[in-house]
Each structure stands twice: as structure tokens, then as C-alpha cells.
Homo-oligomer: A and B are copies of this chain.
Amino acid sequence: MTNQDNPVQRLIEEFKKLPGIGPKSAQRLVFHLIRRPNEDCQKLAEAVSHLKANLVLCSTCNNITEVDPCRICSNSNRDPKVICVVEEPFNILSIEKTGVYNGHYHVLHGAISPIDGIGPDDLKLENLFDRLKEKIVEEVIVATNPTSQGESTALYLSKLIKPLDIKVSRIASGIPVGADLEYTDTVTLSRALSGRQEL
């Protein structure tokens, strides 16, 4: 039951390579699939197999898409005057789920991180500035993570964008909704204080 020829063991090994899936979860997933009709396995296999077949980066915003420009960039109902800059394509999904944002996006595919040897040149910035030069955009919302990498990236961007006479804003950082002051770390709490808003 341990060699790679065994289809059960082979799939367990493949699942174990995925993030957050350890040996026990992998085993549970495999035995779940064994109980399901073969049709379900084939649907999953096909979805995995076709995942990258037609995916490209949107030439406008660098989002992952199967049509270029992506559905967001080509959607005429969205406000072209605002661009929200995010680190990764999946950040777009999170922001879209809130339903409160109707502008465009720009994906950097990373954040400045000198420790990891990632400088501004390693980010996808060029087409952002091409768009800004078209003089349509009035505000850039920097929605990089509130980590040191994300903050450096935000600072770097604001320094470059402000001279173009475009408003640059940063998403708020503070205590998450539902959390407790008692269990909030001091950095977050001081952010929440300095970012206070009038009622």
C-alpha cells in the first residue's frame, strides 16, 4: 500500500503537495472521492486539467483571465475613474465579494520585499502608469496588505502617483469587525486610533 503505482497513494501524495493539506486531510479527501461516483472524480480532474489551459494575464490590469481584456476591464458599467491596486489576483475576488467597489483594478503580482530580493522592478507596474497617463483616472486606492511589504509598496506607489495629480488613498487598517479590543495587538490598536473617523 505504499508505492507510487497505487492510485490511492499516488493521489494522497498529490493532495499533500497542496497548501494546508496534510497527510490526514489528503487521505480523507481521497477516500471521499473513492466513495463518490466516478463522474465526480472526472469533473474535478477536468477542472484541474483545464485550469491553466486558457488563462492569461489581462494586458490592462494583470488580472488572471481567460479573455483579454478581462471581464472587469471590459465592463462598461464600472467606473474607469478609480483603480484599486492589489498584490495578488485573488485579492480581487475578496474585494468583489464585498459588493461596495465598482471601479477597476491593477494587480502587482507581489509586493516590495528587500529581504526576499523583490524590488519595484519585479512588480508589474508599467501598464499601471500607462493607464494613469491617459488622464481618466482620478483616484488610486492602494489595497496592498497591511504588512511591512504591503506598506512599503503603498508608500512607493504614492510617491510616484501623487506628482501625476491623482489622488492616492490607502485602505483602512484597524480592529476587525466583531473583534475585541482586549485581544487586539498594540500595532493594530494604534492604527485604529490614528485612523479614527468622526461620527
Contact = CB atoms under 8 A, between A and B. Distances in A.
Interface string A36-48: 0010111111111
Contact of A48 (B17, B48, B71): B48
Interface in A146-167: none
Interface range on chain A (Cβ under 8 Å from partner)? 35 or more
A64 B14 CA distance: 19
A71 B20 CA distance: 31
A34 B64 contact: yes
B44 A14 contact: yes
B42 A49 contact: yes
Contacts of A1: 71-72, 92-93, 96
Given A38-B52, A96-B1, A47 B11 contact: yes
A172 interface: no
Given A31-B89, A48-B33, A93-B1, A54 B7 contact: yes
Interface of A: 1, 5-8, 10-11, 13-15, 17-21, 25, 27-34, 38, 40-55, 64, 66, 71-72, 88-90, 92-93, 96
